[in-house]
């Protein structure tokens, strides 16, 4: 593990550092943050100072505190969505690849239809009907996103399914479920891990966009996309407060992308050897 | 040629079927509302008589299948019912906003497509030089940024620091074309940066992919100039993936306008959709969702058809 880290190029190290920074902020939010999440501590839109490193927001809350807590809320929800989407997508993909026949056809057509519809519009329509709440948000985005995971896992699992060792397992009399868990899953891990990084970025940007439109996490919870929206008015006065949370979103996405790039590069090299 | 025709017909039929399924989904979604539309709109305190009257007015007393077909028929004829928020006809609300959204997306496309293709070709031509690296770093970061981040940085630079372009893009019909273009400069630039990044990366990748083929090596061995190899030999062969990416990005533009319209308070369909979702003005949401879906599906269809026409390999029936 350490050896691998030592060989990592600069870009991957920067990416890992960014992710680590965010994870620390996420776990130790109450320790790091100098003030409370919804505590009003100063003037409205105060410039950055010793007391408030990044200034204050539209209600006089400390921006740095909000960003640290925002890491917690935004990243936690993104992780929930990405994990759920992976669970659903992988399961669907594996089932389609092992069962084949009409199951594969039915799942494939369903996914085609969902993917023919722009994700943002679909999410907006669903949210207008069922209303915005955190569980709804997680389930809706996860299901929409799982279609992309499904496509990839199905393709990967199809390749593995025709290998000799799966044939051997089948002849041994193992069931579909056993084959999925013991043969297909371990062999499809490398592309899936890289895909997880990419999906994480996508979901993260997507949730931020929804929050920015006022349809994601609801105030007074600190959330990066929502914070940009709340402070957007400041920019026309030449106050750059909304750039901080927006920058935090960009920062984490770049970090994850750098690590994914490195990982993809690594696994393609392993395959070549 | 007959093969091509059957494949095109099949693809178009698939597109129409997708639209029908989407319209059914949109319709069922509203049916799945807890209670029904009448109760949702009138609230808990409404008397049973008012609810009944309202139901009759919205024809909620008819069976769902009948209502679906009359709704669909209305949609085809451009009649989407009335807005719940202000009682105006939805088609009236949507008409000029949709035109505005198309105007924004169209202007962006006209600027972005040639720039992206030229930059992509240049990046492939000067592969692994500082120019290529600069372009690949800047496109990677543009892809990683949320659209509103790009938008606010542009506002901070071009509208607050240097007062050149307005940060609010409200346009109306009295404005001349030039005034309109000036007002929508920033949203256009934001959208253009995002789609250029995507299209450019794909153009570069497509051309580099073709550069490994034997006929390129042949051309190199004949001693042709690098620029001639790329423009005359590689580009025509990379055309099909490039056309595909361009069409997909146009489809993305139609959806991407939503966030950008909200940032710049531009009176487009995206802004209307977001407003209606928070007001839960369901007829407007249904109609604008359907229009977005239609544009998106049509552009995707166009992408596939163009790919089939430009690439003989895809014309072979499987």
The answer to whether position A192 is within a domain reads yes
The reply to whether residue B274 touches residue A247, judged by beta carbons under 8 angstroms, is no
Residue length of chain B: 318
Tell me if chain B has a CB within 8 Å of the CB of A239: no
Q: Determine what percent of chain B is predicted with pLDDT higher than 70.
A: 88
Chain B CB contacts of A254 under 8 Å are 140-141, 144
The reply to whether residue B22 touches residue A238, judged by beta carbons under 8 angstroms, is no
pLDDT at A268 over 80: no
| DSSP class of B168 | S
Answer whether B129's CB lies under 8 Å from A191's CB: no
The answer to whether position B305 is within a domain reads no
The pLDDT score that the predictor gives to residue B36 is 57
CA-based nearest residue in chain A for residue B293: A117
**Containing domain of residue B243, as a range?**
100-280
Dist. CA B274–CA B263, nearest whole Å: 12
pLDDT at B315 over 70: no
Structurally, how many domains does chain A consist of? 1
Answer whether B190's CB lies under 8 Å from B260's CB: yes
Q: Is the ipTM of this complex over 0.85?
A: no
The pLDDT score that the predictor gives to residue B17 is 84
Average pLDDT over residues A249-261: 86
The answer to whether position B50 is within a domain reads no
Dist. CA B252–CA B192, nearest whole Å: 11
Answer whether B273's CB lies under 8 Å from A215's CB: no
Beta-carbon contacts of B38 under 8 Å, excluding residues fewer than 6 positions away, are B46, B51, B54, B55, B58, B60
Sign of CA dihedral A111, A113, A115, A121: negative
The answer to whether position B76 is within a domain reads no
**Containing domain of residue A246, as a range?**
21-29+63-267
Average pLDDT over residues A73-84: 90
Chain B CB contacts of A125 under 8 Å are 26, 29, 277, 285-286, 289
User: Where do runs of H (alpha helix) occur along chain B?
Assistant: 2-31, 37-42, 48-57, 64-76, 90-125, 130-144, 147-154, 177-183, 185-210, 214-221, 226-228, 235-263, 269-279, 282-310
The answer to whether position B86 is within a domain reads no
The pLDDT score that the predictor gives to residue A271 is 57
| B285 → closest Cβ in A119, A125, A250 | A125
Answer whether B60's CB lies under 8 Å from B66's CB: no
pLDDT at B300 over 60: yes
Poorest-pLDDT segment among A167-171, B43-47, B242-246 = B43-47
Dist. CA B167–CA B156, nearest whole Å: 9
The reply to whether residue A250 touches residue B293, judged by beta carbons under 8 angstroms, is no
Backbone torsions φ then ψ of A56, nearest 5 degrees: -125, 165
The answer to whether position B196 is within a domain reads yes
Poorest-pLDDT segment among A23-27, A67-71, B63-67 = B63-67
Dig out the tokens for B237 from the structure. Answer: 């062969």
Q: The pTM is what?
A: 0.82
The pLDDT score that the predictor gives to residue B38 is 62
The reply to whether residue B152 touches residue A242, judged by beta carbons under 8 angstroms, is yes
The reply to whether residue B160 touches residue A214, judged by beta carbons under 8 angstroms, is no
What CATH number does the domain containing B107 carry?
1.10.3720.10
Average pLDDT over residues B244-248: 81
Average pLDDT over residues B113-136: 84
The answer to whether position B116 is within a domain reads yes
* Cα first-last separation, chain B: 16
Ramachandran assignment for A223, one of left (phi > 0), alpha (psi -120 to 50 degrees), beta (any other): beta
Answer whether A150's CB lies under 8 Å from B302's CB: no
Give the model confidence (pLDDT) of A192-223 as tens digits. Answer: 888 888 888 889 888 888 888 888 777 777 78
The reply to whether residue A118 touches residue B32, judged by beta carbons under 8 angstroms, is no
Q: Determine what percent of chain B is predicted with pLDDT higher than 90.
A: 0
What CATH number does the domain containing A218 carry?
1.10.3720.10
> Which burial class, exposed, middle or buried, applies to B224 when counting CB atoms under 10 A from its CB (0-12, 13-18, 19+)?
middle
Most distant CA atoms of chain B, gap in Å? 87
The pLDDT score that the predictor gives to residue A81 is 92
Average pLDDT over residues A64-77: 85
The pLDDT score that the predictor gives to residue B205 is 83
> Which burial class, exposed, middle or buried, applies to B292 when counting CB atoms under 10 A from its CB (0-12, 13-18, 19+)?
buried
The answer to whether position A52 is within a domain reads no
The pLDDT score that the predictor gives to residue B42 is 63
| B29 → closest Cβ in A125, A215, A249 | A125
The answer to whether position B188 is within a domain reads yes
The reply to whether residue B33 touches residue A212, judged by beta carbons under 8 angstroms, is no
| A235 → closest Cβ in B26, B155, B289 | B155
Local structure of B87: helix, strand or coil:
coil
The reply to whether residue A124 touches residue B285, judged by beta carbons under 8 angstroms, is yes
The pLDDT score that the predictor gives to residue A80 is 92
| DSSP class of A48 | P
The answer to whether position A254 is within a domain reads yes
> Which burial class, exposed, middle or buried, applies to A79 when counting CB atoms under 10 A from its CB (0-12, 13-18, 19+)?
middle
Q: B109 or A9: which carries more pLDDT confidence?
A: B109
The pLDDT score that the predictor gives to residue A85 is 92
pLDDT at B18 over 70: yes
Sign of CA dihedral B284, B285, B288, B291: negative
Give the model confidence (pLDDT) of B23-35 as tens digits. Answer: 888 777 766 655 5
Give the model confidence (pLDDT) of A81-125 as tens digits. Answer: 999 999 999 999 888 888 878 888 888 888 887 887 788 888 888
| A118 → closest Cβ in B140, B262, B292 | B292
Poorest-pLDDT segment among A4-13, A38-47, A230-239, B291-300 = A38-47
Average per-residue pLDDT for chain A: 82
The answer to whether position A58 is within a domain reads no
Q: A94 or B141: which carries more pLDDT confidence?
A: A94
Average pLDDT over residues A137-143: 89
Tell me the nearest-neighbour CA distance from B213 into chain A, angstroms: 20
CA-based nearest residue in chain A for residue B301: A116
Give me the total of CB pairs closer than 8 Å, taking one residue from chain A and one from chain B: 120
The answer to whether position B174 is within a domain reads yes
The pLDDT score that the predictor gives to residue A84 is 94
Answer whether B144's CB lies under 8 Å from A201's CB: yes
Answer whether A213's CB lies under 8 Å from A206's CB: no
The pLDDT score that the predictor gives to residue B41 is 62
The answer to whether position A180 is within a domain reads yes
Give the model confidence (pLDDT) of B187-214 as tens digits. Answer: 888 888 888 888 888 888 888 888 888 8
Q: Which of A18, A110, A114, A121 to mutate to test the interface with B (most CBs of B within 10 A)?
A: A121
| A126 → closest Cβ in B29, B144, B255 | B29
Tell me if chain B has a CB within 8 Å of the CB of A162: no
Chain A CB contacts of B194 under 8 Å are none
The pLDDT score that the predictor gives to residue A8 is 74
Structurally, how many domains does chain B consist of? 1
Tell which residue, A213, A219, A232, has the closest CA to residue A70: A219
The answer to whether position A143 is within a domain reads yes
Dig out the tokens for A181 from the structure. Answer: 């868990």
The pLDDT confidence band at residue A159, using thresholds 50, 70 and 90, is confident
pLDDT at A172 over 80: yes
Query: A21-57 in b/e burial notation, b at 16+ Cβ within 10 A?
Result: ebeebbeebeeebebebeeebbeebbeeeeebebbbb
| A120 → closest Cβ in B30, B156, B255 | B255
Answer whether A117's CB lies under 8 Å from B254's CB: no
The pLDDT score that the predictor gives to residue B287 is 85
The reply to whether residue A208 touches residue B146, judged by beta carbons under 8 angstroms, is yes
Tell me if chain B has a CB within 8 Å of the CB of A228: yes
The answer to whether position A263 is within a domain reads yes
Sign of CA dihedral B302, B303, B309, B314: negative
Backbone torsions φ then ψ of B89, nearest 5 degrees: -65, 135
Chain center to CA of B10: 24
Beta-carbon contacts of B223 under 8 Å, excluding residues fewer than 6 positions away, are none
The answer to whether position A114 is within a domain reads yes
Dig out the tokens for B14 from the structure. Answer: 């698939």
Q: Which of B148, B198, B262, B279 to mutate to test the interface with A (most CBs of A within 10 A)?
A: B148
């Amino acid at each position: 593990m350490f050896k691998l880290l030592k060989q990592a190029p600069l870009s991957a190290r920067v990416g890992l550092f960014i992710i680590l920074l965010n994870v620390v902020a996420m776990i130790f939010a109450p320790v790091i943050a100098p003030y409370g999440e919804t505590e009003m501590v100063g003037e409205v839109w105060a410039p950055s100072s010793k007391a408030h490193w990044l200034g204050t927001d539209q209600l006089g809350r400390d921006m740095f505190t909000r960003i640290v807590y925002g890491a917690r809320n935004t990243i936690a929800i993104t992780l929930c969505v990405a994990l759920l989407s992976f669970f659903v997508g992988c399961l669907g993909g594996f089932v389609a690849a092992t069962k084949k026949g009409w199951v594969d056809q039915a799942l494939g057509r369903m996914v085609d239809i969902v993917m023919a519809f722009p994700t943002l519009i679909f999410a907006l329509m669903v949210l207008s009907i069922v209303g915005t709440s955190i569980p709804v948000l997680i389930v809706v985005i996860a299901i929409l996103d799982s279609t992309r995971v499904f496509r990839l896992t199905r393709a990967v699992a199809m390749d593995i399914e025709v290998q000799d060792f799966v044939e051997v397992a089948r002849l041994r009399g193992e069931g579909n479920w056993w084959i999925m868990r013991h043969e297909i899953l371990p062999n499809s891990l490398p592309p899936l891990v890289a895909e997880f990084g990419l999906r994480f970025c996508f979901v993260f940007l997507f949730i931020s966009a929804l929050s920015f439109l006022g349809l994601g996490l609801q105030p007074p919870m600190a959330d990066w996309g929502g914070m940009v929206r709340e402070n957007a008015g400041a920019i026309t006065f030449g106050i750059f407060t909304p750039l901080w949370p927006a920058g935090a979103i960009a920062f984490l996405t770049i970090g994850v992308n750098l690590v994914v790039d490195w990982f993809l590069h690594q696994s393609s090299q392993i395959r070549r050897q | 040629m007959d093969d091509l025709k059957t494949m095109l017909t099949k693809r178009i039929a698939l597109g129409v079927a997708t639209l029908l399924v989407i319209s059914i989904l949109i319709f069922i979604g509203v049916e799945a509302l807890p209670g029904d539309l009448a109760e949702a709109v009138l609230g808990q305190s409404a008397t049973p008589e008012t609810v009944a009257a309202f139901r009759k007015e919205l024809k909620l007393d008819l069976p769902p299948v009948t209502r679906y077909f009359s709704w669909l028929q209305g949609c085809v004829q451009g009649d989407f019912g009335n807005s719940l928020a202000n009682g105006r006809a939805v088609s009236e609300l949507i008409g000029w906003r949709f035109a505005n959204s198309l105007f924004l997306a169209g202007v962006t496309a006209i600027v972005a497509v040639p720039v992206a293709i030229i930059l992509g070709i240049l990046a492939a031509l000067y592969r692994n030089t500082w120019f290529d690296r600069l372009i690949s770093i800047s496109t990677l970061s543009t892809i990683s940024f949320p659209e509103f981040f790009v938008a606010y940085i542009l506002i901070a630079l071009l509208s607050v620091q240097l007062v050149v372009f307005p940060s609010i893009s409200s346009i109306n019909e009295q404005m001349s074309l030039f005034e309109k273009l000036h007002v929508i400069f920033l949203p256009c630039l934001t959208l253009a940066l995002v789609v250029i990044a995507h299209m450019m990366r794909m153009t570069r990748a497509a051309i580099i992919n073709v550069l490994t083929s034997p006929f390129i090596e042949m051309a190199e061995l004949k001693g042709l100039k690098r620029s001639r190899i790329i423009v005359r030999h590689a580009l025509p062969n990379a055309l099909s993936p490039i056309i595909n990416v361009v069409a997909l990005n146009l489809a993305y533009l139609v959806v991407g306008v939503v966030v950008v319209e909200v940032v710049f308070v531009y009176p487009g369909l995206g802004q209307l959709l977001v407003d209606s979702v928070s007001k839960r003005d369901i007829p407007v949401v249904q109609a604008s969702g359907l229009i977005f879906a239609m544009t998106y599906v049509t552009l995707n269809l166009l992408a596939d058809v163009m790919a089939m026409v430009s690439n003989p390999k895809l014309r072979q029936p499987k």
